[in-house]
């Protein structure tokens, strides 16, 4: 019987040549823990987090697509980390939670009309017999611009969003855990997004020139908070 956490899927396409090459290139260290940690940082910092350019098509949600376009959001970056782990025969899957994001941009709040982010994605990696949560979403450059504490991962404990930023402002609050999946449950996610964020896709599609990092930089300006 196949282990589903080692098997390629439609979106966690761990047999894709680009995924295999990426995993081999970043498989530093000895043993599953060190290799998983190396992959985590390669995904976290090698691809910028950009929630303004989300493509919910099957092709747009594949792990390999992140390698092609050079950016992703929490779900696709989690899928890439899971795929890279599977390519190295390290068991991995994706997990989801609903989170309250207290520091999203003004544009995101206007489009989503809420600070509650449903289906936030992270990776779960089996290391030395235990499942560890790893969240490679926010790249280091983004954390520095937004004044966030970067998420580190050592393979011994879980890597989950910090509740506060560097200035002590509320950052991320986990509202509910949705469980673990062997593949990204795209149909269920898109149905929920259409119901919960009725303006989201249409408004994002109408602002192709919007720059997430520019918004973050402007809104993180200390002058705005005086």
Residue 151 predicted with pLDDT over 50: yes
Categorize the per-residue pLDDT at 224 as very low, low, confident or very high, splitting at 50, 70 and 90: very low
pLDDT, tens digit (0-9, with 9 covering 90-100), for 158-177: 999 888 888 888 889 999 99
Position 225 confidence tier, pLDDT thresholds 50, 70, 90: very low
pLDDT at res. 16: 98
Confidence check: pLDDT of 223 > 50: no
**For residue 89, is pLDDT > 90?**
yes
Q: What is the pLDDT of residue 106?
A: 84
Lowest mean pLDDT of 4-8, 166-170, 216-220, name the range.
216-220
Q: What are the residue boundaries of the structural domains of the chain, listed by start? A: 4-103+118-185
27 pLDDT more than 60: yes
Region 81-100 average pLDDT: 97
Q: Under CATH, which architecture does the 4-103+118-185 domain have?
A: Roll (3.10)
pLDDT of the residue at 50? 93
Give residue-wise pLDDT tens across range 176-214: 999 999 999 999 999 999 999 988 777 766 666 788 888
Question: How many Å apart are CA 27 and CA 21, to the nearest integer?
Answer: 10
Question: What pLDDT is recorded for position 205?
Answer: 65
Distance CA 88, CA 15 (A): 10
- pLDDT score at 76: 98
């Amino acid at each position: 019987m196949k282990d589903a956490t080692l098997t390629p899927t439609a979106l966690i396409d761990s047999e894709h040549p680009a995924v295999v090459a990426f995993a081999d290139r970043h498989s530093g260290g000895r043993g599953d823990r060190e290799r998983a940690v190396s992959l985590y940082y390669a995904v976290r910092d090698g691809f910028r987090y950009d929630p303004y350019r989300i493509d919910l098509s099957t092709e747009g949600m594949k792990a390999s697509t992140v390698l092609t376009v050079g950016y992703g959001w929490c779900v696709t970056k989690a899928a890439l980390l899971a795929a890279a782990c599977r390519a190295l025969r390290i068991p991995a899957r994706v997990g989801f939670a609903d989170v309250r994001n207290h520091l999203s941009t003004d544009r995101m709040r206007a489009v989503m009309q809420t600070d509650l982010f449903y289906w936030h994605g992270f990776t779960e990696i089996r290391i030395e017999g235990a499942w560890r949560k790893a969240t490679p979403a926010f790249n280091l450059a983004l954390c520095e611009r937004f004044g966030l504490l970067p998420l580190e991962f050592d393979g011994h404990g879980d890597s989950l969003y910090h509740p506060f930023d560097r200035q002590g402002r509320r950052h991320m609050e986990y509202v509910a855990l949705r469980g673990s999946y062997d593949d990204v449950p795209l149909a269920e996610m898109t149905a929920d997004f259409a119901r919960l964020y009725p303006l989201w896709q249409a408004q994002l599609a109408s602002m192709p020139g919007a720059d997430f990092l520019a918004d973050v930089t402007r809104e993180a300006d200390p002058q705005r908070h005086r």
